[in-house]
A = this chain, B = another copy of it.
Amino acid sequence: MEQFDRSHLLDIFRHATRLRHLPRSAQRKRLPGQILATVFYEPSTRTRLSFESAMVRLGGAVLSVENANESSSATKGESIEDTARMLQGYADVIAMRHPEPGMPERASRVVDVPVINAGDGAREHPTQALLDLYTIQHELGQIDDLHIAIVGDLKYGRAPRSLAMLLRETRGTQVTFLAPPTVPVGADITSALTEAGVSFREASSFDAIAGADVIYQTRIQRERFADQASYEKSRGYYVIDQTVMDGLKRESIVLHPLPRVDEIDPAIDEDPRAAYFRQAENGVYVRMALLDELLG
């Protein structure tokens, strides 16, 4: 995330919008014959397909490793550096997902081809944060002077953490955190925001975000809880349903990094403010912009 300053972000967003409006036949002329390797040490069909869709739309090709943890040389004791050096012989760019923080960065240090972090453990998921902020700009026409509510699992959730960090590059932003008491926002985020001069507060009811421009809902991540009881206590705390929607501004948007379980009632999917599926599609355009910037 540290690599993206405000002007770089705005460049990427402009480029994403430009690419999305090109006809397919023109998109395909951007990266003909270039090769993306998607190497996933933990499964994420969503992120993998989004990268792969972006690459093939640009006319490139894809080499896919869906379960790098099982099928690759990692099981034989190969270092991530050696794996990366091998991959650079096969592909022009690598998108790597890894359960261990910092692995994509370690890979990037030893090779000449770009390595994109497609999520490294609980640490970062930078392309998710990029597409989140791009969606805000695309939907509301601005990234500044907004009231942004971030709801749900703020302790384990990689996506809300990455978004909060990225908001440091915006101006006049007011953040409200709304988390179940079991998974509160961490001090790493609040102190980073303080340092960057981003105004924020913690709230404990949907009333506090009635005036928000963006409601960023997240999943309570069952897989991160030690026991079922604490998980059950946390889920269902802040569910977005019609009643919540009725209390929100008319021009607001509801985002979610997906997948959702039951923290957004599907009954509101038809509400025009429900922007989460448009957000998922935006992931393709943002990743097209990144790939095109790196290889074009």
- A residues near B (Cβ < 8 Å) are 24-25, 27-28, 32-33, 35, 37, 43-46, 49-50, 52-53, 56-57, 59, 61, 63-68, 70-73, 76-79, 81-83, 85-91, 219, 222-223, 258-262, 266, 277, 280-281, 283-284
The interface residues of chain B lying within 8 Å CB-to-CB of A44 are 71
A90 touches B50 (CB 8 A): yes
Q: Report how far A45 CA is from B96 CA in the complex, Å.
A: 14
A65 touches B49 (CB 8 A): yes
B89 touches A219 (CB 8 A): no
A64 touches B61 (CB 8 A): no
A281 touches B89 (CB 8 A): yes
The interface residues of chain B lying within 8 Å CB-to-CB of A33 are 24-25, 27-28, 56-57, 59
Give min CB distance, A99 to chain B, whole Å. 14
A66 touches B63 (CB 8 A): no
Q: Which residue of the partner chain B has the closest CB to A61?
A: B56
Give min CB distance, A94 to chain B, whole Å. 11
Give min CB distance, A40 to chain B, whole Å. 8
Q: Report how far A35 CA is from B55 CA in the complex, Å.
A: 11
A87 touches B49 (CB 8 A): yes
B49 touches A90 (CB 8 A): yes
The interface residues of chain B lying within 8 Å CB-to-CB of A32 are 25, 28
A283 touches B89 (CB 8 A): yes
Q: Report how far A114 CA is from B91 CA in the complex, Å.
A: 25
Q: Which residue in B35, B46, B91 is a CB contact (below 8 Å) of A73?
A: B46
The interface residues of chain B lying within 8 Å CB-to-CB of A25 are 32-33
| Most chain B C-beta atoms within 10 Å of own C-beta, residue among A63, A87, A258, A280 | A63
B284 touches A73 (CB 8 A): no
The interface residues of chain B lying within 8 Å CB-to-CB of A261 are 76-78
